[in-house]
Amino acid sequence: GAVVSQHPSRVICKSGTSVKIECRSLDFQATTMFWYRQFPKQSLMLMATSNEGSKATYEQGVEKDKFLINHASLTLSTLTVTSAHPEDSSFYICSGGWGPGETQYFGPGTRLLVL
Amino acid sequence: EDKVVQSPLSLVVHEGDTVTLNCSYEVTNFRSLLWYKQEKKAPTFLFMLTSSGIEKKSGRLSSILDKKELFSILNITATQTGDSAVYLCAVRKTGGTSYGKLTFGQGTILTVHP
């Protein structure tokens, strides 16, 4: 299957700082990547759809100014959590595939802890 | 509003048992249903189902979709402790701005005791 990497795998930061998470497709080109958030003992919730070369599409209730998404190339999408607060602590996972209609492969996830 | 509901929410069995996990859905513009296994990190892909009645099989795992009754089951035979995980069901839609998006169920936590 396709390989998707995420960096960093774990980050601890102080409240008010910004954190950038990278999602890379290593052996394929992803025109579309998806960003999910997962709180403990809950399922994955889609945050936004990241399209290469255009603006991301955010799900209802997700603040686009707080969660900045950039999909600058066919192999890289970034999620920046701006002015992070403790309630943003969560597991952030990206996924990508050859196309949005194809099987989506998940990155290993980034665990964010905001103190 | 789209819904994906999994049952049971948790299941505890012993090695060698057979388990059946359920996933029912209500979505507009259904395209496919996917099963994932999640251990401590991100989900790993198991199956993608698009047609009714065609069983997909991989080793001790198998899955089937019923598009008329809007559900899918995931079977695991001769369970092993390594099968302990959260099993997630997700539905993909087709068309418009929803194209490619996955809606996940809440997951079934499977625990297999030796």
Q: DSSP letters of B60-101?
A: TEEEEEETTTTEEEEEE-S--GGG-EEEEEEEEE-SGGGTT-
Rounded to the nearest 5 degrees, what angle is found at the Cα of B37, between the Cα atoms of A96 and B99? 35
Q: pLDDT, tens digit, for every residue of A24-78?
A: 988 888 778 899 999 888 889 999 988 888 889 999 999 999 999 998 888 999 9
Q: What is residue A12's predicted lDDT score, i.e. its pLDDT?
A: 97
| Residue A14: pLDDT band with limits 50, 70, 90 | very high
B43–A106 C-beta distance less than 8 A: yes
Mean pLDDT of A84-108: 84
Tell me the pLDDT of chain B averaged across its residues. Answer: 92
Distance from CA of A107 to the nearest CA of B (A): 6
Which positions in chain B have a beta carbon within 8 angstroms of at least one beta carbon in chain A?
31, 34, 36, 41-45, 48, 88, 90, 92, 94, 97, 99-107
A57–B102 C-beta distance less than 8 A: no
Model confidence at A101: pLDDT above 60: no
Chain B residues with CB-CB distance to A49 below 8 A: 100-101
Q: What is residue A27's predicted lDDT score, i.e. its pLDDT?
A: 82
Q: Is B112 exposed, middle or buried (0-12, 13-18, 19+ CB in 10 A)?
A: buried
B44–A106 C-beta distance less than 8 A: yes
- Percent of chain A predicted with pLDDT > 70: 95
Mean pLDDT of B56-62: 97
